[in-house]
């Protein structure tokens, strides 16, 4: 199956990045959100990131312009009717995703692939919300999408070889390295990453060290590009908490219990960089880190 037309639903940090790499790979993209205004905000992020790549000589100016022209913002999923592949990148909530998958199933043409960028949620259960579970798959990009090489590819129990083959080929066309894994909570990436982030939060919660100290220890001591709490802020603390809850419930082991401090920060609306406040402070929502 050839994938030429892609729909992306959810124009937040991940959806904008997915639209970016798909359009640069020559795909026609419809980028949708709950309103066309929000989709337009996602498109503005793509424009800014493409301009940065042009400035750094990574992408030719004409290629960036052509990519931008291939992305159409939308507030209506009916615009996905002609898509060969839809990548869902909305909030990390199973109920909301299942409802959307059922709706998209009624809109997409027969055989079109419905992929989720979920960080942790069962692909098998998302597939069961549709009448096309053989065409449902996990296509898990990493943040920031234009920079990170990996796409974790997750087959649900019913996903066909044809669907997996088409998604692996599309990921490669976008310049990514696809790696397949099985459909278990958090897959591999977040089953390994989130316990480290959660442990870093416990270290702060128990007064072992400040967020700054925890991050510096892991950056300079382990050569991580970002400390775990800066990374948690970057991912979004709401997303980290949602993933930990899926791990805790799905694997049934208390070692995945979310730290109470993480729960409290999400309750306060301190979602990390996108909110302007998390373990660190930012100049504005999505802005630069500033001293506390
Ligand atoms: N979009 C596009 N390009 C971006 C970008 C963005 N949002 N953010 C940074 N970049 C680019 C920069 O332009 C720069 O490009 P060049 O190399 O061409 O100059 C490059 O990335 C490096 O950026 P900086 O020099 O500004 O900053 P840095 O060296 O600190 O790198 C980083 C930034 C790449 C984000 C790096 O800190 C890093 O790798 N952090 C860890 C990221 C990570 O672990 N991601 C996975 C998160 S978990 C996940 O995604 C799964 C999940 O389900 C939660
Ligand atoms: P985000 O909060 O930046 O964006 C989510 C977007 O989805 C928002 O623009 C919101 O308006 C939109 N949305 C919510 N419900 C919707 C609906 N019913 N229909 C249409 N649009 C809707 O979130 P994000 O960080 O981009 O995460 C999106 C998905 O990607 C989540 O499943 C998350 O787990 C996954 N993911 C996140 C990261 C990360 O580092 N943040 C990495 C990999 C995967």
- Domain locations along the chain: 5-182, 191-275
122 is catalytic: no
* Ligand 2 pocket, Cβ-based, cut-off 6 angstroms: 9-15, 33-34, 38, 89-92, 96, 100, 117-119, 142-143, 235-236, 239
Q: Which of 152, 198, 248, 280 is catalytic?
A: 152
For the chain, list residues with pLDDT below 50: none
Nearest ligand (C-alpha, residue 225): 1
pLDDT digits (tens, 9 = 90+) for 108-164: 999 999 999 999 999 999 999 999 999 999 999 999 999 999 999 999 999 999 999
Residue 25 has what pLDDT? 98
Residue 292 has what pLDDT? 80
Nearest ligand (C-alpha, residue 146): 1
Query: How far does residue 207's CA lie from ligand 2's centre (Å)?
Result: 32
Q: Name the residue with the closest Cα to ligand 1, atom 28.
A: 225
From the CA of 14, give the closest atom in ligand 1: 50
Residue 109 has what pLDDT? 97
Nearest ligand (C-alpha, residue 186): 1
119 is catalytic: yes
Residue in 75, 78, 89 to alter for ligand 2 test, most ligand atoms within 8 A of Cβ: 89
Residue 112 has what pLDDT? 98
Residue 1 has what pLDDT? 79
Cβ contact 53:59 at 8 Å:
yes
Ligand 1 pocket, residue 120 CB under 6 Å: no
Q: Which of 190, 198, 248, 280 is catalytic?
A: 190
Which CATH code is given to the segment(s) 191-275? 1.10.1040.10
Ligand 1 pocket, residue 192 CB under 6 Å: no
Ligand 1 pocket, residue 235 CB under 6 Å: yes
Query: How far does residue 11's CA lie from ligand 2's centre (Å)?
Result: 7
From the CA of 235, give the closest atom in ligand 1: 54
- Write down the mean pLDDT value for the chain: 98
Which CATH code is given to the segment(s) 5-182? 3.40.50.720
Query: How far does residue 216's CA lie from ligand 2's centre (Å)?
Result: 28
């Amino acid at each position: 199956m050839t994938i030429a037309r892609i729909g992306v639903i959810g124009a937040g940090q991940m959806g904008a990045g997915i639209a970016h790499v798909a359009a640069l790979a020559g795909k026609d993209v419809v980028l949708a959100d709950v309103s066309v205004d929000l989709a337009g905000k996602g498109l503005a992020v793509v424009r800014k990131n493409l301009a940065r790549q042009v400035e750094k000589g990574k992408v030719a100016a004409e290629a960036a312009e052509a990519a931008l022209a291939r992305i159409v913002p939308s507030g209506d999923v009916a615009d996905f009717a002609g898509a060969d592949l839809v990548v869902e990148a909305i909030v990390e909530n199973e109920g909301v995703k299942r409802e959307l998958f059922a709706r998209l199933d009624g809109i997409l043409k027969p055989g079109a692939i419905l992929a989720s960028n979920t960080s942790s949620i069962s692909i098998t259960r998302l597939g069961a919300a549709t009448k096309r579970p053989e065409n449902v798959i996990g296509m898990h990009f990493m943040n920031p999408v234009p920079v990170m090489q990996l796409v974790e590819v997750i087959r649900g129990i019913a996903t066909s070889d044809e669907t997996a083959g088409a998604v692996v080929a599309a990921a490669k066309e976008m310049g990514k390295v696809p790696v397949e894994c099985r459909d278990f909570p958090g897959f591999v990436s977040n089953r390994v990453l989130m316990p480290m982030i959660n442990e870093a939060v416990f270290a702060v919660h128990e007064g072992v060290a400040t967020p700054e100290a925890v991050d510096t220890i892991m950056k300079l001591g382990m050569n991580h590009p970002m400390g775990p709490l800066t990374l948690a802020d970057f991912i979004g603390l709401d997303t980290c908490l949602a993933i930990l809850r899926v791990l805790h419930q799905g694997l049934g082991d208390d070692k995945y219990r979310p730290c109470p401090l993480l729960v409290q920060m999400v309750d306060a609306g301190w979602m990390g960089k996108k909110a302007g406040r998390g373990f660190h402070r930012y100049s504005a929502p999505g802005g630069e880190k500033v001293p506390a």
